[in-house]
Structure 1
Amino acid sequence: MPYNSQFFVFEGIDGSGKTTVSRLVSEALLTKSIPNLWHREPTDSVYGKKIREFLQGKLKLTKEEQIETFIADREYSVNEIILPTLKGGKSIIQDRYYFSTAAYQGRDEEHAAEILYKNEDKGFPEPNRVYFLDLSPEESADRRKSRGGREEVFDEDSEQERIYQNYLAILPESTIFVDATAELEEVVAFCVEDILKSLET
């Protein structure tokens, strides 16, 4: 049966597994002959590269500069990748979107909401579904320590707590909360099944 192209976004704090889950979901859908593109933000644009330098501590940006750079990267993402892909008949499976910018760059819940509105005012497309891989900040800390690697600017436990609370404040009511501590195969299967239901409507 033919499916309409739709836009699916995966969100979560660091260590929640959203990159791994979203990639596996995309691959599983391809095996079911569902045309889709796995996409992530920040992108590989000049703005996305600037963001990654900031995240790695190589570049200093004020909160306002962070927000402006994320929005510039998102404009590239939407105009060059998301909209053309959807118009071409493929769905998008995306790792992070403007909810991440609001949660990470927001000083508190009120500021996070302001950042969300700023993104919405740009007319960026709304996702058909948002999946939040729900992991407590404490569990996130354990996962981040066990995986090792370079520390990033938001690795402090207090930062992850702030980000988690911001997420809870700004995610849309329709967000699907997924237990990120469940077995990976279960999480992927649940998301694939839910996406298939969405594509049938």
Structure 2
Amino acid sequence: MPASSHFFVFEGIDGSGKTTVSKKVSELLNTKSIPNQWHREPTESVHGLKLREFLKGNTKLSPEEQLKLFLLDREVSVNETILPALKNGKTIVQDRYYFSTAAYQGKDEEHAADILYMNEDKGFPEPNRVYFLDLSPEEALERRNTRGGQKEAFDDEKEQTRIYQNYLAILPESTIFVDATADLEEVVNFCVEDILKLISESH
């Protein structure tokens, strides 16, 4: 990966705000002369679209089918978007990566770790930094209820608690835990400052 390219991943349970935050971080980095591409998983590939339908609660998939589709979609994501961008010296700011798959599809912490290793064994690139938007399952549920809209596949509070525990077990030691209850602008600025510091240290 060229020195000018970096890979930043935003993770969190549903309702933690990672899509909004990662998009705003990407926009702010562009204004600071850090050319980057905002990317998210699941992608718009045929596998990704099937997953989105499932996540919206429109279709049913067994845990095995879910995992298989996530891995297939990630291969498309890595080969068609992430690696080409990194090879061209561009930075990627990404909403969800294989930590999500491990946390959501893992039945428990041990199973989540197995799924993480499965992704690492495929040689998917490791991010330079992971930002975990930290929000308790109770607060996240409250946010999702306020937001309204359709009930999704993992909306149940018990499910979100399992996912949260799995995340804590599998996130890399270098993960930056960000208080997702803080003001949006503060959260975005905090992440951008950390990214700029990391980039300047690597040059």
Q: TM-score band (shorter)?
A: over 0.9
Normalised by the length of structure 2, the TM-score is: 0.97
Q: Alpha-carbon deviation of 1:198?
A: 1.1
Q: SS where residue 140 of structure 2 aligns?
A: helix
Q: Identity over aligned residues, as a percent?
A: 75
Amino acid across the alignment from 2:135 = L
Deviations 1:126-180 (A, max 9, x none): 0000000000001001100000011101000000000000000000111000000
SS at match of 2:80: helix
Name the SS of the counterpart of 2:132 in structure 1: strand
* 1:108 maps to amino acid: D
The one-letter code matched in structure 1 to 2:189 is A
Secondary structure at the residue paired with 1:53?
helix
**1:187 alignment partner in structure 2:** 187
> Could you say which residue in structure 2 is the equivalent of 1:50?
50
State the match for 1:114 in structure 2: 114
Cα displacement (A) at 1:64 = 1.0
Partner-residue secondary structure (3-state), 2:92: strand
Matches for 1:80-159 after TM superposition, within 5 Å? 80-159=80-159
SS at match of 1:73: helix
Amino acid at match of 1:42: P
Displaced runs of 4 or more, over 6 A: none
Q: What secondary structure does 2:9 align onto?
A: strand
Aligned residue runs from structure 1 range 28-47, under 5 A:
28-47=28-47
Deviation at 1:106, TM superposition (A): 0.5
Q: CA deviation at 1:59?
A: 1.8
Q: Mark the runs of 5 or more structure 2 residues left unpaired by the alignment.
A: none
Q: Secondary structure at the match of 1:44?
A: coil
Q: Which residue of structure 2 lines up, in the alignment, with residue 27 of structure 1?
A: 27
1:89: how far off?
Answer: 1.4
- Secondary structure at the aligned position of 2:84 is classed as helix
What's the counterpart of residue 69 of structure 1?
69
In structure 1, the gaps of 5 or more residues are none
Aligned letter for 1:28?
L
Shift of 1:71: 0.4
> Does residue 16 of structure 1 match 2:34?
no
TM-score by length of 1: 0.98
Shift of 1:58: 2.1
Length, aligned pairs only: 200
The letter for the 2-side match of 1:180 is A
Structure 1 residue 33 displacement after superposition: 1.2
